[in-house]
Amino acid sequence: MLINDFKSTQLKVIKILMNSYNKGRLAHAYLFEGEKGTKKKEIAFYLAKLLYCEDSDKPCGKCNNCLRIEHHNHPNVLLIEPEQNTIKKEQIIYLQQEYAKTTLEPGPKVYIIKDIDKMSINAANSILKFIEEPLPDTYTILITDNLQQILSTIISRCQVINFQPLPKNEIVEFLKQNEINNSVAKIVAQLTNDLDIALEIASDELISDIIDLVILITHEILQKREDILIICENSQVNLYNNRKKLEYFLDILLILMGDLKSVDNNNDNIVFDQELIFIKENIHKIKSEKIMFNIDEILKTKINIGYNANTVLLLDHLLINLM
């Protein structure tokens, strides 16, 4: 069972969908929009189960149809996800072919397309056709973490459902209930909106090592010492051999740089509160522009890592720039 039961974390969304379903007024096209980890895909499948469940208390999650949908085994419920970071034209053609078929099984058809911001313009235009001319009893659910990247022509033809992230303090409390210490919980809560993933990250010993490394590096930056490269090389966290570790490192470093910026602006409400005294004592040694420069550099590195660039080179380049 999921620790993060989306029925409680996305109660508003569930209510909207149930209400439309009960009134027989489900939209033919939905756009599920919200930050990563807000359970959009899970709720898309929940909606499919609602349409197919054989039980009177829908969706039961236990009947044959619910189980087939859960295991991606239902011929009328189709999920399309990016392959190598893009939704390819062939995937859309496949979808169109499926769309044209008469159903293998009686009942509605449900198409779930995840990360539609990763579609090419051509692919997006094809999707637009589906939405504009829906066949009866067909439901398309588009999912995105980046609403601002979606064509307005798509947005205007869908019912947009906003998924709100959990408040950070609820994630922190949840982690603390699971025996994660307060400072780790506060940092990990910034990395994800998903309770399951948050607990997984926080329970990994590695994350404490990465946090310690980020603190060490920030001390070097504040004290204008130039040992960052050596510290990184000698650290037991080998950032060079694992992209996931490197991503966590960059995210956590970004949080601490954001904290420097806050303290620089006389705001003491920071994520790394265990570092507040040290930062306050040393913040005058670094210029505001340098903090902003460092934040920009980290953001650029994060983007470049997404493009499969040489991570060793990228990290060294960043560390040199941070000094």
Write the interaction track for Zn ion spanning residues 151-190; mark x where CB under 5 A is met and - where it is not. Answer: ----------------------------------------
CA neighbours closer than 13 Å in the CB half-sphere of residue 134: 18
Given the complex with Zn ion, which of 63 and 276 has the nearer CB atom? 63
Given the complex with Zn ion, which of 49 and 118 has the nearer CB atom? 49
Min CB(189)–Zn ion separation in Å: 34
Given the complex with Zn ion, which of 69 and 191 has the nearer CB atom? 69
Min CB(240)–Zn ion separation in Å: 48
Min CB(132)–Zn ion separation in Å: 32
Given the complex with Zn ion, which of 48 and 222 has the nearer CB atom? 48
Write the interaction track for Zn ion spanning residues 3-42; mark x where CB under 5 A is met and - where it is not. Answer: ----------------------------------------
Query: Which DSSP state fits 53?
Result: -
Given the complex with Zn ion, which of 55 and 132 has the nearer CB atom? 55
Beta bridge partners of 29: 140
How many Å apart are CA 256 and CA 217, to the nearest integer?
10
> Looking at 146-228, which runs of residues are DSSP E strands?
159-163
How many Å apart are CA 177 and CA 199, to the nearest integer?
10
Min CB(57)–Zn ion separation in Å: 8
Site for Zn ion in 48-107 (CB under 5 A): 53, 55, 60, 63, 66
How many Å apart are CA 66 and CA 68, to the nearest integer?
6
* Maximum C-alpha span of the chain: 70
Residues 6+ apart with CB under 8 A from 37: 165, 192, 193, 194, 197
Query: Which DSSP state fits 135?
Result: P
Given the complex with Zn ion, which of 60 and 216 has the nearer CB atom? 60
Q: Hey, is 139 helix, strand or coil?
A: strand
Residues that contact Zn ion, how many (by CB under 5 A)? 5
- Residue numbers of the site for Zn ion (CB under 5 A)? 53, 55, 60, 63, 66
